[in-house]
Structure 1
Amino acid sequence: MLCSTCRLRPPVTDDGRCLLCAGPAGQPPVPPAPAFVAPQQYLRSPDGLAKAVVVLLAAVAVADLFAVAAGLNVRRVLGDGLDNGFATYDEAEVTLADDLYAGAGALQVLMTLATAVVFIIWFRRVRLNAEVFDPGAQPMGAGWAVGAWFVPFANLVLPRRIAGGIWAASARTDPDGSRSTVPATVMNLWWGAWVCSLIASRYTSQQYWKAEEPQEVIDAAGLLMATDALDLVAAVFAVLFVRKLTRMQGERAALGVYPLTVRPVSGRAH
């Protein structure tokens, strides 16, 4: 049975009204009771996807380390040749170094694409859960959790905006009904490192492919190595972000009660 006036809270008076509807003006305010318990089908655990993302991010980090090692090898081989005027030039060694570097780059692309696919699926999952936790905290529709990544230039801003809404909605609710604030340091570090890595990668790749002279190749390889190191750092922060947000959603879901403003997930763009 629910309150005869608001139809939201259990009745406590003889005439069937709840405390908030029946209490006199001078009565101490009573925190509003949770008005909606989300049906189980509206929430889906992101744990499995999060574990897959973490494993793939670890593979990205390994590929970055391999690329750094291959870059060092290219610089060593070309540097030795420059030191002696290529008097002892070994074409086979140079070819092997170049092939290893190309292989490292191909491995990075493969791991990055696989990680991106699973990460976006996980991102959409936590966004749909956030719709249940607090739809009012979401700045954009659920469909943008996927689409925002593919909008040129805007993909440097929009996914972070969406992540902010997910982060806010996934914070635990305090006993008094207010939303607790969770520092977004990990999320900001992940996003900043990823954007810097993306921009730096595009620039340094162009420099490497334009390089023709041995010294130009050495310099460009050094820039690529720095970018690979930055990408590795971004992968580490991404792991921390994924694990933190997934844990936050698990804790939030364990509370079992959600705001009255919840709308079915199927009512928004997917």
Structure 2
Amino acid sequence: MSTPTSPGHEAGARQQSSAHQPQGWFAAPPSGPPLDRSFRTLGTALTVLIGLVGLLELVQLAGGIRMLRLLGEVGSGREGLDSDLDAADRLTLQILVPCLLLLLAAGICWLVWQHRLASSARVDRRAVRRSPGWHVGSWFIPVVNLWFPFQNVSDLDRGLGHFSDRDRRPPLVAWWVLWLLGLAVTRVSSATSSMADTRLEAGQVEDAVSLMSTSVTMDLVGTILGAVSAILAILVVRNLTERATRPADTPWTSPHTHVRADPGTPGTKGTTGTTGGAVG
């Protein structure tokens, strides 16, 4: 049975307890055992693939800037401009193919990673709205894939247990918003490029060049958005992977933790207790 203590003693006990709390304590205990080393390896492979996609997008950015500069010279009569435009177009296609292949590999790896995490006992099932199958399938259903994948990853974040305010949380909202914006800009750019081809076939060269310049400019914006969203995606994957593979005996503190004095030990200011049964 605890005895009342003075406010000064209780404040000192809180200070002492706070000093011994490890960085990265859980505000709720992990739901189950951590995932094994292979999941950490999978997460590392996924971040590498996403990083390579981001690097190729930066190369595409340089090619797009060169193409935009060349389009600005159309009508100037400069000798060799046509060959330069053809070379820039070929370079864009040469970069696009490996970029798409890497994007496909990263997408497959992401689906495996997300399915494994959604299937694991480490995630609190009460925080997950959908089955592991839906975590994969929702990426392929039109309209639904604009929102469900974000909800699913957010559920995994919540199901792994929230960290304290001292720890970084994954940038889920920023990642998803930039990802959607990048896709939208790319779609509009593709439609504008098709309009430019139609005008060119009709002999409306000036309109075609103008539309082409607009398309390339939008491509540049989409590439920048894609590169930034790739960086944020890496942060999301690293955050969730680290938390999912964290050892089960990692200390955590309940949000309901309170400090009471230990009357039996002289010189001891207090011990930590919790209404929810803190594990230390």
TM-score (norm 1): 0.70
The residue number in structure 1 matching 2:149 is 159
Alignment partner of 1:239 out of 234, 237, 243: 234
1:57 is the counterpart of 2:47: no
Could you tell me whether the CA contact under 8 Å between 2:123 and 2:156 is conserved in 1? Answer: no
Q: Per-residue deviation at 1:118?
A: 0.6
Alpha-carbon offset, residue 145 of structure 1: 1.5
Change (3 A) 1:37 1:117: closer
Following superposition, the deviation at residue 210 of structure 1 comes to: 2.5
Matches within 5 A, 1:50-199: 50-82=43-75, 84=76, 86-129=77-120, 131-171=121-161, 184=169, 186-199=171-184
What amino acid sits opposite 1:242 in the alignment?
A: V
- C-alpha change, 1:124 and 1:241, in structure 2 (3 Å) is same
Whether the 8 Å contact between 2:139 and 2:149 is mirrored in structure 1 is yes
Query: Which amino acid is the alignment partner of residue 130 of structure 2?
Result: M
1:171-212 superposed Cα distances (whole Å, 9 cap, x missing partner): 2689xxxxx997755111111111211222212122123224
Tell me the secondary structure at the aligned position of residue 236 of structure 1.
helix
Query: Which letter does structure 2 place at the counterpart of 1:231?
Result: G
Counting aligned pairs with the same residue, the percent is: 23
Residues 97, 162 of structure 1: alpha-carbon distance in 2 compared, 3 angstrom cutoff? same
Q: Distance in 1 between matches of 2:144 and 2:168?
A: 25
Q: When the two structures are aligned, how many residues end up with a matched partner?
A: 214
* Paired residue type of 2:172: M
Is 2:203 the partner of 1:218?
no
Q: For residues 139-180 of structure 1, give each alpha carbon's deviation from its aligned partner in whole angstroms, at most 9, with x where no partner exists.
A: 111211211111111011111111121111112689xxxxx9
Kept in 2: contact 1:171–1:252 (CA 8 A): no
Q: 1:137 deviation in Å? A: 1.0
Which one-letter code corresponds to 1:222 in the other structure?
Answer: T
1:215 CA drift (Å): 2.4
Q: Which consecutive residues of structure 2, in runs of 5 or more, have no partner in the other structure?
A: 1-29, 201-207, 253-280
Whether the aligned pair in 1 keeps the contact of 2:111 and 2:136 (CA below 8 Å) is yes
Q: Which deviations, in whole Å up to 9, do the C-alpha atoms of 1:76-126 show, x marking residues without a partner?
A: 2221233x2x34243322210111122223233222111111111111111
Q: Secondary structure in 1 aligned to 2:48?
A: helix
Aligned pair in 2 of structure 1 residues 199, 253: CA closer, same or farther (>3 Å)? farther
After superposition, the Cα gap between the structure-2 partners of 1:106 and 1:231, relative to the gap in structure 1 and judged at 3 Å, is: same
Indicate conservation of the 8 Å contact 1:81/1:89, yes or no: no
Q: TM-score, normalised by structure 2?
A: 0.68
Confirm or deny: 8 A CA contact 1:50 1:246 kept in the other structure: yes
Change (3 A) 1:256 1:162: farther
Contact 2:57–2:226 at 8 Å: present in 1 too?
yes
Consecutive unaligned residues of structure 1, counting only runs of 5 or more, are 1-35, 175-179, 258-270
